[in-house]
Structure formats: C-alpha cells, structure tokens
Structure 1
Amino acid sequence: MTLSVIVQLCALLTISQQAASSPSCVCDLTSSEQPFPHDKLSSVEDGAAKCTGSITRQKSVELDSLLLGLQRRLPQLETDVSVLEREDDGELYGAVSLQVIENELTEILQLMNKLNSTTLAHSRLTSDTAQQVQDLKVEMQQLEVYDSMQVVKSQQDNQRLKRDLDQCRKGHHPTTQPTLVGCPASGICPHGHFLNVTGPRVYTAGEYPGSYKYGSWGRDPKPEAGKENWYWLVMLTSSNVYSNYVRRYSSLSSLIIGVSVPGNVQIHSSNPTTNTIQGPSAVLYGEALYYGCYNRDAVCRFNLTTKSVTSVQLPKGTRFNSKGNFCHLDECYPFTDLDLATDESGVWVIYTTTQDFGNLVVSRVEEGETPTINQTWHTSLYKQAVTNTFMACGVLYATRYVSKDAEEIFYSFDTSTGVERFDVGIQIQKVSGNIYSLNYSPPDQMLHAYSESHMVSYKVVFG
C-alpha cells in the first residue's frame, strides 16, 4: 500500500470521529392547549352504555302487558258477579260461581301485586336514569371546551339544517298512504284490508322464563262456550323439538303472571313417541290441537275432549324432519318444515315439496274428527328465504329477517285470486333476535309470536 493511500485513510477516520462526537439537535414543543381528558371521556361512554342498557323496550312492554291483562280481567269479573247475583235464591248463592269469583279475585290480586312492584321499579329506574342523563349532559358540555376546531358545533348545525330540510320536503310532498293488501272477495274478512302491525302489546316470559326456547301460543278462534277468553301454550320440552302436551290458561292475566288453570292436557305419557308434537308450530281450533306429526310428513289433530289423535297425509315429496325449514342468512330454524296457521275460515298448513323446488305450498285443512286436505295453492316464494308465515282473511303472509330488532312482512299470496305481492313492507318490532312461530288470532286481530322463550303479541290494524 502506498504512503498517499495511508494518509487519505487516516484523514477520513479523523473526520468520521469528529462527526460522531458532535452534539444532537433537540427541539422543545410547547402547546397552549390543555391535554384532552381521555379518562373522563371513557367515563361518559360507560355512563351512556349503562343508561342504554337499563332503559329497554322490553321494560315498557312488560308494563303494558300487565295493564292489558288487568283491563281484560275486570270486565270478566263483572260478568261473573252478575251470574252470581242471578243465582241468588234469597238465602244461598251458587257455590260454583262463588268459587270461580274467588279464583278470579286471587288472580287479579296477583296481577295487581306484580303491576305495583313493576311500576315502583320503573319509577326508581326513571328517576335514577334522569339524574344520570343530567350528569352526562354536564360532563359533555365540559368536554366541548376541548373542541377547538368547532367540529361538534358544526355537526349540530348540520343536523338542524337536515331536520329543517326534511320538514320542508314533507310539507311539499304529503306522505303516501299505505298500499292496501287485498282480502278475499268472498267476504270471509269482516275487518277490511290488512294495513299495519303495531306493538308489541303483550310481552311475557310466562311460568318458565328462559326455559324453553321453541314453542307456540295463542287463542282458539272457535272456542267452546265458556272458554272464549282461554289461552293455550305449547313448549318444546324435549331437545327443543318435541312436546307431549298443551298447557291452558283461563285468561290473559293468568298467562302473564304464570298461573295455569286448568293446566296440562297430555297427548301421550312419553316424549317423543308416536303422535307427539314435532316442531314449534301448533294451533288450536275448535277444541283440537293441529301440529306436525312426530317423524311423519303429516298433520296431526288432537281432540282435547276425547284425547284421540287422527292425522292427514300431506302430498308425496313433502319436506319434513328439518329438511325444509324457515331460514335467514345466519341460521335456519330446526323442524319448521310444517307451519300450521288459523284465520277466520279455519286451519291451514304451509310447507314445501321436492316437486315445488323448495317454494311455499299452502293447503286448507278441513275440520272433522279425521282432518282432510281440501284445496292446495302453489307459490313462487322460496321457503328458505322466509322466517315465518301466517294467514289472515285467506291471505298468506310471509316474513323475513331484517335485524335483531325488526322483522318485515314482505310477501302476500291471496288464495281467492292467486295474486302474489313482494312489496308489502310492514315492519314488526321484535323483543328478541328470532321469532320461531307466528300466528294470527281472529277473535282479537292479534299476531301471537313465540320469540326465544318469550310470548309476544302485536295488534293487526285493518281498514
């Protein structure tokens, strides 16, 4: 190596050492703004979440249900007292009528006690929540001080402008009246056109809160004398698929507070076995329970008086044993192959067959000790795109899942004209994520839903 190269290397090493030993440059940043209190914002978010969780739709519906039960119970008590007065022979009242009134007074007292405790709890909840909301409002106003760029204020101004614009538009364009859904021209619909569904009007967990996820309930559209106000309940007590009895209640208030009189009417001592109930869809009509037969593509009829079971075979190719269920994108409802329904004209069964490629089929079940299939209609609606069906005035309606809070009646099929519609567009507000059975009750024009162990009902609006 030459001397000139060694000298250049030594010079380079000296320069690099000097550069490495030079001091680093540090800048101090001073902000005139106060640090944002993230812990306080987290506290406000937690408080808002607690308020949202404590005030729910279920709590208000629970109170409405109790009031409705009491409202229907008192007129019945007046009627029974009138019967008792007529039976007075001057010295001795009818012992049977006295016992009936005593039972009714006991039920009314239970209902009022539950109503009083629920009202007191709601009053405390309202007071506590109002104070929490006021505290949250003060804290949010304090946090707005840190909004130096006026983002929140701008958002509030935009919301006010949008609200004013919507009101202006509505003023120039009146709200369109709902499209009428036709009832049959044969005159079996005395209420008019199906317009809307409101509610829920009744919401109760009954005697066994949270115990039985699948089932059905409602009223008999053709009751025996003296049973006009009775309700029935079928819970799938074995594997969420099978049941061997129907439970009866003498009034709506009895069902709400969970007092079953006269109790169970048993189909068979074993569960499951031949003739027991399979699937969550059952209906009571003319003191007989109609339901999907155990392990068969047939409709069973259980006479509650004689305790006898008869059945009618459905067409060849009918899907059963959980092969033709109601579904939505996230799940299918097991063993919903056969959907029984009642309306003003009688009993119906909705199902699908291999010949119909999975589309809905609806058949009328004729009354009689041995039921028969009278007429059958075929639709173009795919069954697994549907979550539930029901009949009203001879018209088939189908629902679909919208969200955990809403279901939509989107489809109708008029059996008198054969006209199908896919634009019905009526919303049902849910109290639980899924409705496993849905049936229309002609006596009070209500939709009775069994929703994840809860009994819920909605008012049908006709016009």
Structure 2
Amino acid sequence: MPLVVLLLVPLLSPALAWLPMEDWGSGNVTTSGGGLECFCSAFLPDTTFPAERVQHMQQVTTGLKREVEVQMSKLVHYNGKLEVYLEELLDLTVRVAMLETSSDDYIKLDFELLKTELREFEALVSQLRDSLNTSSPVLDSLYIEIHNMTIIVNQLETFDKSNLEVIRIEFAKLQWKLEECQKDLDFIKPDIGNCNHTGILTVSKPILIQMNAHLNPGYLYGGWGKDSKPVRGYESMYWYGAYSSPSVYEFYLYSDYDKLIERSSFTHHGLPQGYEGVGNNYIVHGNTVYYQAANPFRMSKLNLTSSGYSHRQMTKASEKYTYIYSPNQFLDFSADEKGLWVMYTTEEAKGKIVIAKIDEKSFAIEDEWTTSAFKPQAGNAFMVCGVMYTTRSRDMNTEEIYYSYNTKTGEEKHMSILLQKFQEKFVNLHYNPTDQRLYMYNNGYFVSYNVKFGKE
C-alpha cells in the first residue's frame, strides 16, 4: 500500500510537489474487485492578481482626496469670511448697545441696515453648520447671539415706530416755521389788509402741511384753512372737513397750527339732518361756516358760537355748471379784504362765472358782476381785494391762474401764474386776507401758498 502511494507522486504537477504539506488535502486508497483505485484531494492557491479591486480603490482614493481638498478650500474661504464678519459683528454689537441707550438717534434706514447685516450673519453661520455637518458649541453660541440681537433690534424698531408720528409732527412744525421765515425773505409783502398793489404777481412753491389728513385715501373731498375774519381769542384757529363724496356734514376746529398737525381738535360740529351741504367750496368767516346746502338748493351758514343756522335761497344760481374737478360745486364762497363773496353761474350767463357780494348782516346779495370765465373749464376761483382770479389745469402737476376780473373797475386780464400741485385734482382753493395765503385741499393734502403782489 505505501508503495502505491509513492509511485503516484511523480505523476503530479511539479508545482504541486513544492507546496507545503498544509496546502495538500487528504487522500485514501480503496480496492474493488482486486483492482487498485486512489483518490486524492488537493487545494490549489488563487494565483490571479486583483487588478479590478486595485483600480476601484485608486478611484475611491482620488475622489476622497478631491473632496478633502474641496472641504479644505471651503474652510479657508469660510475662515476668511468669518474673520471679516466677526469684526463687523463686533461693530454691530457696539451699535446695538448704542441703540439701546439712545434709540432716538436712529432712523428707519439704520434699522433696515442692521436687520440686513444680521440676516447675512445668520446665513453665514447656517452655511458653516451645514458644510461642517456637525454641531459646534462656538457656532451654536454665535447663532443664538445673532438671534437674540435680531429680537432686540426688532423691539427697538417697534419702539421707534411708535414715536414716528411724534417725530413727523415736530418736523412739520419746524417746516412751517422755516416756511414762515422763508416767506419773509422771499416775499416783500404790503401790510395785511392793504390793497395798494397791482394784483397777484406770483405765488410761492407749495407748502405741504399734511398728507392724507383723514388717514384714509378715500377722503378726496374737503377743505381746510383759517378764519378769514377771526373773533378775538381765535386768531390762530384752523378748520378742516373731509368726506368720501362731494358732500358737507361735519367740521373740525383746532386752536392753533400745532393742534392741526397733531389732529387734536378742540371741538367738532356735525350738521344735523336737513342741514347737510354739497360741494366743497366753503369757508369760515367771522366764526361762521358758509356752505352750499341742498334740497332745496340754497346758501347756508352755521354760527360756530351759537350753533345757529341761517339760509338764503339762490333762485338765479344754476345747478347745471360746476368746476372741472368736482361735481356739485355750484356756490363758491370766498372772503378777502373787501368782505364776503359767492361765485356761481346762471342760465342767462350760459356757464360764465358770476361774482356776487354778500351783505353779512342780512345774508343777502348786494351786487353782481358777470365775467368771461367759463366755469366748466375752470379748476377753481377765489377773491383777492375785490378781484376774482380763476385757475385752469396746465398738466397733472401744474395749475395756472389765467384770468382775473376787477369788480371795482370791470377790467379783465389774462395772465399765467403757475401753482404746483401734489395731485391732479383739488376741490377747495381760497384766499385768506389775514395772512395773504392761498389754501388748497388737494386730494387729502393740506397745501398752502404765499402770495406776492406787484408794487403799485
């Protein structure tokens, strides 16, 4: 039996003969029918080189190297940005601290700039956290600090907004005082009440007193101004009324200019049913409101002291012709150095403006003058020293005083004196002899103009 095994060894491959014994398998020999059979088990090593695995590992290594380079580049980039933003953040911290102690020194633009910078800081920290894909105590603390600072700025801005109205009011008061000084510098004016001049020579640029005075853009109709013949103690009083339609049903009175700007009236008059007015060309003269009533169509007045009403029907006045900017403006009241007037038109005048002098005691018409100014083409009209001036539109932002009629001489003139407007349409324009100003209600805007007269 051993002899047979030894005889089989030379028959194997030479490479196998040199393998160590542990790489060989076990074998056995059996006989069957006198014949000899030999079974051997051999384990051959894998001699193939793993080229595909090596190539895959090289690709993976190259990809990882590139990713590391990208992340390193990001870190360098963010580190540079972080240094810059940390310096700005330090400056921002100081500014917020100053804002907490003296918020009055900051305006809306400052708040917007602070909020924008804080949003940039927050976005940068979020990018860093996402890129690092990990939580960092430093970044978390920085993020919380920025969030807290944002809350502080928003609170301070809210506090500031609550005071914006006060700031606006104080600014309007200052603007008015500056305009008063400018008026004295720009306009060499005759004495108040004196008509020794050749008429209006020019008007100043518009002086904006109030925007959207009723805090509602729908109040396009109304009027404002001063008493043109104030009673003692009410020389500084202002009046105002505004409506969403060409009607008249209430007035507000203010003790002085400051109260007007602050919207703080000392009294309010609501017209009772049956006494409501239409149109918007009303004025306050001698502590009395003169306005146009309807149903029936008539002149009306309300004494602000006694709250008594008086009326006078206008049988000749036509309800057919009105000014171009507003419906129902059939009676246009005006007051000047010569007294109280009302302007309208008649069927006989065929739309041309008629000037009528009102006797204040009897509330009756003293005299009439028919002019050549066609009312449906006019924007408005007013009286100065017994002379009627009529306006018309030049463009959306410009009104032109183009015509005048002198009730003393009957003289008519054509001219071109421009008035700048904030809105195209206006429904109340009148002159006040106590300060020689024009007052305009311009779609919710309180506008006034200084008047300059020609020397005689």
Pairwise TM-score range, normalised by the shorter structure: 0.5 to 0.7
Match of 1:425 among 416, 421, 428: 416
Q: CA deviation at 1:191?
A: 6.0
Within 5 Å, give how 1:452-463 maps onto structure 2.
Answer: 452-463=443-454
The answer to whether the 8 A contact 2:382-2:390 is kept is yes
116 and 248 in structure 1: CA distance in 2 versus 1, 3 angstrom threshold: closer
- Runs of 4+ residues deviating >4 angstroms: 109-112, 115-119
Deviations 1:198-250 (A, max 9, x none): 1212331224342411111111121111110010112235xx02222211011
The answer to whether the 8 A contact 1:290-1:300 is kept is yes
Q: Quick one: distance in 2 between partners of 1:111 and 1:190?
A: 43
Secondary structure of 1:418 counterpart: coil
Question: Share of identical aligned residues, percent?
Answer: 32
Deviations 1:85-142 (A, max 9, x none): xxxxxxxxxxxxxxxxxxxxxxxx99863256889xxxxxxxxxxxxxxxxxxxxxxx
Q: CA deviation at 1:335?
A: 0.9
118 and 400 in structure 1: CA distance in 2 versus 1, 3 angstrom threshold: closer
Deviations 1:50-80 (A, max 9, x none): xxxxxxxxxxxxxxxxxxxxxxxxxxxxxxx
Q: CA deviation at 1:298?
A: 2.0
302 and 220 in structure 1: CA distance in 2 versus 1, 3 angstrom threshold: same
The answer to whether the 8 A contact 1:341-1:439 is kept is yes
In the alignment, is residue 113 of structure 1 matched against residue 118 of structure 2?
Answer: no
Match of 2:271 among 267, 271, 277: 267
Q: Which has the higher strand share?
A: 2
Match of 1:244 among 221, 242, 249: 249
Secondary structure of 1:253 counterpart: helix
The answer to whether the 8 A contact 1:221-1:344 is kept is no
In the alignment, is residue 194 of structure 1 matched against residue 200 of structure 2?
Answer: yes
Within 5 Å, give how 1:29-48 maps onto structure 2.
Answer: none
In the alignment, is residue 257 of structure 1 matched against residue 262 of structure 2?
Answer: yes
Letter in 2 for 1:113: I
Q: Quick one: distance in 1 between partners of 2:237 and 2:198?
A: 26
The answer to whether the 8 A contact 2:334-2:383 is kept is yes
Q: Quick one: distance in 2 between partners of 1:204 and 1:445?
A: 20
Within 5 Å, give how 1:402-417 maps onto structure 2.
Answer: 402-417=394-409
In the alignment, is residue 279 of structure 1 matched against residue 279 of structure 2?
Answer: yes
In the alignment, is residue 340 of structure 1 matched against residue 340 of structure 2?
Answer: no
Q: Quick one: distance in 2 between partners of 1:117 and 1:426?
A: 30
The answer to whether the 8 A contact 1:361-1:378 is kept is yes
Q: Quick one: distance in 1 between partners of 2:348 and 2:172?
A: 53
2:437 alignment partner in structure 1: 446
Bigger mean CA deviation after superposition, 398-407 or 300-309 = 300-309
303 and 400 in structure 1: CA distance in 2 versus 1, 3 angstrom threshold: same
**Is there any run of 5+ residues in structure 1 with no aligned partner, and where?**
1-108, 120-182
Q: What TM-score does the superposition give when structure 2 sets the normalisation length?
A: 0.56
In the alignment, is residue 393 of structure 1 matched against residue 393 of structure 2?
Answer: no
2:427 alignment partner in structure 1: 436
- For the aligned residues, what is the CA RMSD? 2.4
The answer to whether the 8 A contact 1:285-1:346 is kept is no
Letter in 2 for 1:246: F
Match of 1:229 among 231, 236, 252: 236
**Is there any run of 5+ residues in structure 2 with no aligned partner, and where?**
1-162, 174-189
Within 5 Å, give how 1:121-200 maps onto structure 2.
Answer: 189=195, 193-200=199-206
Q: Quick one: distance in 2 between partners of 1:294 and 1:343?
A: 26
Match of 2:345 among 339, 352, 368: 352
In the alignment, is residue 215 of structure 1 matched against residue 212 of structure 2?
Answer: no
Secondary structure of 2:260 counterpart: helix
Secondary structure of 1:221 counterpart: coil
The answer to whether the 8 A contact 1:297-1:319 is kept is no
Q: Quick one: distance in 1 between partners of 2:247 and 2:269?
A: 15
2:370 alignment partner in structure 1: 378
Q: What TM-score does the superposition give when structure 1 sets the normalisation length?
A: 0.55
Q: CA deviation at 1:258?
A: 1.8
Q: Quick one: distance in 1 between partners of 2:170 and 2:341?
A: 41
Q: CA deviation at 1:297?
A: 3.4
Q: Quick one: distance in 1 between partners of 2:375 and 2:276?
A: 25
304 and 202 in structure 1: CA distance in 2 versus 1, 3 angstrom threshold: same
Q: CA deviation at 1:315?
A: 4.1
294 and 256 in structure 1: CA distance in 2 versus 1, 3 angstrom threshold: same
2:116 alignment partner in structure 1: none
In the alignment, is residue 325 of structure 1 matched against residue 322 of structure 2?
Answer: yes
Q: Quick one: distance in 2 between partners of 1:204 and 1:444?
A: 19
